Amino acid sequence: MTLHLVRIGVDLHALARFAAARRLSDDDYGYALHAALAARFGPDAAPRPFRFLPDHRAGPHLLGYTADPAPLLDATALPVIDDLIDGIFSDPKAQAMPATWRAGARYDFEVRVRPVVRFGKTVRAARGDRAGAWQRGASEMDAYVTACERAVAAGGSTTDIDREAVYLDWLTRRLAAAATIDTATLRAFQRSHARRGTHSAGDSSARTRTVEGPDATLGGTLTVTDSDAFASLLARGIGRHAAFGYGMLLLSPPGRSG
User: Quick check: 128 pLDDT over 80?
Assistant: no
Q: Are residues 178 and 88 in the same domain?
A: no
**Is the pTM for the entire model greater than 0.75?**
yes
Question: Comparing C-alpha atoms, which of 188, 137, 145 is closest to residue 166?
Answer: 145
Q: Are residues 46 and 172 in the same domain?
A: no
Cα gap 213→149, rounded to integer Å:
16
Q: Are residues 238 and 118 in the same domain?
A: yes
Q: Give the residue ranges of DSSP H helices in the chain.
A: 12-21, 30-41, 70-76, 121-127, 143-153, 163-175, 227-236
Q: Are residues 153 and 246 in the same domain?
A: yes
Q: Would you state the pLDDT for residue 132?
A: 46
Q: Tell the burial category of 106 from Cβ atoms under 10 Å away from its Cβ (0-12, 13-18, 19+).
A: middle
- Sign of the alpha-carbon dihedral angle for 188, 111, 195, 16: positive
Which of 96, 131, 153 is the last residue in one of the domains? Answer: 96
Task: List phi, psi (to 5°) of 216.
Answer: -125, 140
User: Quick check: 147 pLDDT over 50?
Assistant: yes
Residue 257 lies in a domain: no
Residue 54 lies in a domain: yes
Which of 76, 96, 116 is the last residue in one of the domains? Answer: 96
User: Quick check: 223 pLDDT over 80?
Assistant: yes
Q: Are residues 68 and 131 in the same domain?
A: no
pLDDT digits (tens, 9 = 90+) for 8-28: 999 999 999 999 999 998 889
Q: Would you state the pLDDT for residue 206?
A: 54
- What is the domain range of residue 47? 4-96
Q: Are residues 236 and 142 in the same domain?
A: yes
Q: Which of 125-129, 189-193, 220-224 has the lowest mean pLDDT?
A: 125-129
Cα gap 10→33, rounded to integer Å:
9
Instruction: Count up the domains in the chain and report the number.
Output: 2
pLDDT digits (tens, 9 = 90+) for 107-122: 999 999 999 998 754 4
What is the spatial order of strands in the sheet that 179-197 belongs to?
179-197, 208-224, 106-113, 250-252
